[in-house]
Amino acid sequence: VQLQASGGGQVQAGGSLRLSCAGSGHAFRSYTIAWFRRAPGKDREFVAAIRWGEGRSVYADSVKGRFTISRERNTAYLQMNSLRPEDTAVYYCAAQSAGDMTVPNYGYWGQGTLVTVSS
């Protein structure tokens, strides 16, 4: 499985961005896809994940009601609305076949895309 993240950029507080994670590999469609982020000087943190088949999604408390994770065929998306300066980070998509959705023990990772939110 290979992942390619894109869609990052610079936006003002209150704005929106949509990140994409394009996956390849025959098993991708059956994997759980997640987004994590790493802000400057901070540890990597879970943002959102979606499990194939169940249609179940989970979110970090800090993004609930503002971010929406979805997937269509071989691409997963993270729609980010009402962005805040504290959302500034490098965002990574990840994929796994099984395991805790919120723990960064994913076997496959994209290269990261930078999101900068200015106040």
How many whole angstroms separate alpha carbon 81 and alpha carbon 109? 24
- Give which of 99, 96, 103, 81 is closest to 23, Cα–Cα: 96
- pLDDT of 3-14, one tens digit each? 999 999 999 999
State yes or no: pLDDT of 27 exceeds 90. no
- pLDDT of 58-68, one tens digit each? 999 999 999 99
- pLDDT of 75-88, one tens digit each? 999 999 999 999 99
Q: What is the pLDDT of residue 116?
A: 98
Query: What mean pLDDT, rounded, does the chain reach?
Result: 94
CA distances 19 to 7, 97, 100, Å, are: 4, 22, 22
The token duo for 97 is 């076949």
Q: Are 38 and 27 in contact (CB under 8 A)?
A: no
- Residue 60 CB neighbours (<10 A): 16
The alpha-carbon radius of gyration of the chain (Å, integer) is: 13
State yes or no: pLDDT of 52 exceeds 80. no
